[in-house]
Structure 1
Amino acid sequence: MNELSDEVALVTGATSGLGRRFAAVLASAGARVVISGRREDRLKEVVEEITASGGRCEAVPFDVADAHALPGVMDEVEALFGLVTVLVNNAGINDARRPHKIPLELVDAVIDTNLRGPFVLSCEVAKRLIAAERGGRIVNISSMGSFDYHGNAAALYSTTKAAVNRMTETLAVEWARHGINVNAIAPGAFATEMMDGMIERVGDPSGAFPRKRLGDPAQLDTSLLYLVSPASEFVTGTVIKVDDGQMGR
């Protein structure tokens, strides 16, 4: 598969979970992939895994919450492979506390990581694409928690992900004239490092799901590849729900 051989993809939060999987999938489809995150040892592992499989991958460690640093980060990213044409805004953190018990520092961290950083980074990528007169793809990773909340101590996380959905819709309208498609994927409960932490706190939720199972990150591959490929050229401003019927309707 070399459908993405002309693309340069940046994946945030790629040290574990869905981001790690997304980076590998994009590289296997031929993209030149730059991964980011805060844990440099993990980034090194991901680069080694992808390159060992024949993919092209480099790492640029940065914290997406540090919005002021993002323009300089993009200069560093472009120095590796060139203009970023695919952005996957995957980095995110969970508050994991009752709303009235969240310290202000954590409020800032969740909003900066889940919403402010992705917004600023999307604008930085789009600005460069517009200047180059080149179309592109932005995929925001939302959550089914943006649509459904049962008091599982993630109210701020759910709030930011709902804002990501609206950000997806508004930026899609802004940049449609420039050939930049902006879409989102809203996963349900998948087997990831973040989910492991939730299970430790509140138990395994899969027993309450219709199919009694968590998702495998590989089950998001086709949704991601569709949204970054020419096949989705007419699709923008859409949030794709991928949850196995877990949340009901």
Structure 2
Amino acid sequence: MRLSPDDHFRVRALYENIRDWIKRGELPPGARLTYAELYTWPGATHCHIASSALWLLRKDGLVETRRGLGSRVVVPGQEWSVPEEDRYLPLRLWVEKTMRQRLADGVYPPGTRIPPLEELREEFDVSKTTVRFGLSPLIRARYLLVQSFNQRRTTASSYRWTERGTIVTEAVKQVPRDELLRPDERDDLPPNGKFEAWGASNTLIAWSRHSRCKVSYHVLYTRVYRYYWPIKAAMTTPTN
């Protein structure tokens, strides 16, 4: 995204503010720099300004960013990496686990909006699809509520649909903390990656090529992994 001259000024101002806070010790080594926090600081009007400021801080060696972890102030002599127990988690599960932790810790209080997909994509360094998969269990559990879209007039003859955002519901206060932190369990997913149907066992991509399958692999994958459809229903229900 091309930044305007005003945005360049905001990037520089945000960068200098964070740099000075780090040098004065107001942001100690190990302090996390999430987009939710950056947005409360002057100048961070959108994620591209925040990400550009973080890039300058990384260039100075003051901040480090790790995929799936986010960004933090550098701790001299200490390596920052994903905990051993989470190192081999699929990225979507890591997104889910991190977001559950933030909900439990009150980073996103009930009634507030979580950051948009683009910001979470930037922070986790994953695709928007991966972020959506990570948020899906929280939406199904009704911890998050995706609001409808707004129709906004852009010209006399055209409209633009804009997403209102995803808000945190009161349900996060109504469940025990350990339940909120517990990752979503998919008991119906086979451990070997092969799905049983019509007396045969095949991988999802093999079933997508089967003569009984009426949908594309993308539709089949989305139905099974994102929406929890039974394998036969997912294969035999054509799209409208």
TM-score range, shorter chain: under 0.3
Normalising to structure 1: TM-score of the pair? 0.25
Normalising to structure 2: TM-score of the pair? 0.26
Q: Which has the larger radius of gyration?
A: 2
Identify which of structures 1 and 2 has the higher relative contact order when contacts are C-alpha pairs closer than 8 Å and 6+ apart: 1
